[in-house]
Amino acid sequence: MSNDNSNEKIVNDVIEKLRNNYKILNEGEFNYELIIGQLSDSMPILIKKMEEEIQIVQNHPDSKKRFEIITNFLGRLENEKSFDMLVENMPEHDFLETKKSIQNLDSPFKNFKKHGESKDIELAKEALCKMYAHNYEDVCKSYLKLFARIITGKKIDSCGNCINIILKFEPEMQFILQYFIPQIRNSIDHNDQYFDHENKLMIFPDRDKIPIELTIEHLRIGCDMQIVNKVCFSAAEDVKRVEHAKVAQYYYEKTQEYCKILNLDFKQMVKMCASSGINLLQVHNVLEKKIKNIPY
């Protein structure tokens, strides 16, 4: 096995462990495993993975353009709306939402991979429609509702309204959001979509609106582009998270080192921090000061 394949397997194993732990553990148990349990060695691997994905996105002209549009949009939110992507306790990004997203992705993604390019129209239609609706909802919950809330200062429940708010604030986001069409999602959600065998078109009615007509291939492209755009959203977000994660990893390792020097139980120290809400940086600073005052 080549070194690249070996590294990819390590990364995939870590991601799979994270996914499985999100599925079965509560938030406290998950954090314990992530900080000092079986996932405690995952952070350096994930940081490297994020850096590689950012580079991949920036190396391709199309995804680079998407990445730059999203990055500029986030910059506007930061400057005009005092938005900070690193601030935690965002309801759209909380533990439960991540758990639901991971659990609900399995079935549509597996069907998409298995039947998305099938010659059997019924199999392809079902796989593509479920994937389109899932991607739409996933991106809306993960990003669009958050952005609309930041722009307006209030919670917006309708994904369609979120898209309109974002486009009014930043028209260039149309290049990203053109593959998240509320009418198609609504038609799928209400089971109103059907295949016109005579014209070989997918038809998406939605109440009194003019039905949208797409070939199976265009629907497939729509699903693919939704995935690409979510990767670009994630990469733009990760640019801000990588440096923060590196700093956190540095203080984690230094605190572990100081505990060893002072014969302290590092795991117990982390447990104490987690239960009392003390920042690990504060512990690091106290221990560092103590070590510097030790006479040698």
- Cα–Cα distance for residue pair 9/2, rounded to 1 Å: 11
Long-range contacts of 12-21 (CB under 8 A, 24+ apart): 14/39, 14/42, 14/45, 14/46, 15/49, 17/42, 18/42, 19/102
For residue range 191-233, what is the model confidence (pLDDT) as tens digits?
999 999 999 999 999 999 999 999 999 999 999 999 999 999 9
Alpha carbon distances (Å) from 6 to 3, 11, 13, 18, 149: 5, 9, 11, 19, 42
- Cα–Cα distance for residue pair 200/178, rounded to 1 Å: 23
For residue range 36-66, what is the model confidence (pLDDT) as tens digits?
666 667 778 878 888 888 999 999 999 999 9
- What does the mean pLDDT of the chain come to? 85
Residue 1: which pLDDT band, with cuts at 50, 70 and 90? very low
- Cα–Cα distance for residue pair 9/118, rounded to 1 Å: 29
More confident residue, 208 or 9: 208
- Cα–Cα distance for residue pair 59/65, rounded to 1 Å: 10
Q: Checking phi first, is residue 205 left (phi over 0); if not, alpha (psi -120 to 50) or beta?
A: beta
For residue range 73-129, what is the model confidence (pLDDT) as tens digits?
999 999 999 888 776 445 555 666 777 777 776 788 888 999 999 999 999 999 999
More confident residue, 246 or 239: 239
DSSP-assigned letters across all residues of the chain? --HHHHHHHHHHHHHHHHHHHHHHS-HHHHHHHHHTSTTTTHHHHHHHHHHHHHHHHHHSHHHHHHHHHHHHHHHHHHHHH---TT----GGGSHHHHHHHHHHHHHHHHHHHHHTT-SSHHHHHHHHHHHHHHHHHHHIIIIIHHHHHHHHSS----HHHHHHHHHHH-GGGHHHHTT--HHHHHHHHTT--EEETTTTEEEEEETTEEEEEE-HHHHHHHHHHHHHHHHHHHHHHHHHHHHHHHHHHHHHHHHHHHHHHTT--HHHHHHHHHHHT--HHHHHHHHHHHHHTS--
- Cα–Cα distance for residue pair 202/195, rounded to 1 Å: 5
More confident residue, 137 or 7: 137
More confident residue, 137 or 285: 137
Q: Say whether pLDDT at 296 is over 60.
A: no
- Cα–Cα distance for residue pair 44/51, rounded to 1 Å: 11
Residue with tokens 């995935």: 227
Q: Residue 195: what residue type?
A: F
> In angstroms, what is the C-alpha Rg of the chain?
23
Percent of the chain whose predicted confidence (pLDDT) is above 90: 49
